[in-house]
Amino acid sequence: MAIPIYKVKVYNASDYTYFQKRDTVNDKREPAPRERLSLDIQAKIIEGAKTTGTARVLACKCYAGEHLSVTVRCSKPKSGQKYVVCANTDKRNSAYAPKDKRNPKFAFTMSAVAKWVDELVFRGDSKPHGVIVVSGSTDSGKSELARALVHLRLQHALTQPRRPHLITIEDPIETYYYPGNATKPFLDPKTSQKYGLDYTPRELRVDTHSLKDALHDALRQTPSVVYVGEVRDHSDWREIFQFAGSGHLVVTTSHAGKLTEAIEILLKANEAKSPSERQYVADKILGVVHLRRFQCEKRKRAEDSCKPNCKLCVGNHPPKGVLLPTLWRRTAAGANSLVADGVSSVLPHLPGDSNDDVSSFGRSWFARELTKTAAIGHICDKEIKEIECKALEWDLLQE
């Protein structure tokens, strides 16, 4: 089907994305906010007077309707030619990058938490696919951790022959990967490409009618990562799992009181009651994280300090806020147990030496590893003990 309003740009590549400002398109009609503007067409690649191949073209709205994200996939690329990747993404700081600077108000940095979760879930896999769910209560830091995991994945994707493509689907968009300024919240998409990233942010009811439509479009956009804002409906979970089952990586967030509750939501959403139905869910989960926060006790008296004249215990030094995750990741043994016994098989793993086939990591494990990396002079012995005791308490209660 020929769509005259789109002119397909031809590059020496088999798979690429470019962005086109919508006011330059010959379509004068302004789509309604709820209208789905997405075209999946077959186009001919013409160089000079010759047709050199065919291309699959997906064009969709993004950036609050201001731009079109156009992904071209050529069926007959020229032999020996590849897309040149811009591997320098450090020219501008990403708003998704986890904060690495130490804050006296917090015991651990988000960067330290994100790196541990990334290492445990992906284990060096260069092309992972499946669903990662970061759960927790309001203001637990789940969106910040989810975006940090997306950022780390994109850094790994720089080694691939195609420029990384990030698609986000949110309602509304909380943070743009490359934020703009007070007058315009985002950078021009072509500027993002100069930093090494194809970035297609899509807002529900503005750029796309529904999550289902956006994920259907993403099938033709070759995404490295798809980030979905908070998921609430069971129907949305089913769409995400179906999409992840096609070989894509999805990172998303969800409200849940504890880890087992988060996994139970995924099972119920997919109506997984029998072992065979739970197998479908287990095969598509890469990892489920649950976050909890607490505040260390304020010590005002000298006798409450961990050692004489410890400046971290008393005085004006603020008590530390602590973010403690717990994690279930897919391993062969963990998936088999989940299939056979359901969420009752999700038991926290206490600190130990070998973690190769462990599927469930308790907060005590994270407390031990994170306090190891806390800088001397930043966290005192009593705070470490308090963190470890609280983590063990939550593990015993499976919270």
- At residue 250, the 3 state secondary structure works out as strand
Helices 234-244 and 211-218 cross at an angle (nearest 10°) of 0
Q: How many CA atoms lie within 13 A of 186 on its CB side?
A: 19
Say which residue, 265 or 187, is predicted with more confidence.
265
**Average of pLDDT values for 349-358?**
71
Q: What is the pLDDT of residue 318?
A: 62
pLDDT for 152 beyond 90: yes
What residue ranges define each of the domains in the chain, with the CATH number in brackets? 15-74 (no CATH), 110-164+224-396 (3.40.50)
Give pLDDT tens digits for 6-55. Answer: 344 444 456 778 888 876 444 544 444 434 456 665 665 555 555 556 66
245 — pLDDT class (breaks 50, 70, 90): very high
| 37 contacts: CB under 8 Å, gap ≥ 6 | 31, 60, 61
pLDDT for 95 beyond 80: yes
Closest CA to 200 of 182, 217, 183: 217
| Chain-centre distance for alpha carbon 172 | 16
Give pLDDT tens digits for 360-380. Answer: 999 999 999 998 876 555 677
Q: What is the pLDDT of residue 290?
A: 97
Q: Omega of the bond prior to 164 within 30 degrees of 0, cis? A: no
Instruction: Report d(CA 322, CA 320) in Å as an integer.
Output: 6
Q: What is the pLDDT of residue 68?
A: 85
pLDDT for 353 beyond 60: no
Rounded alpha-carbon distances, angstroms, from residue 327 to 28, 138, 172: 50, 18, 27
Taking a C-beta distance cutoff of 8 angstroms, is the pair 149, 206 a contact? no
Give pLDDT tens digits for 259-302. Answer: 999 999 999 999 999 999 999 999 999 999 999 998 887 554 44
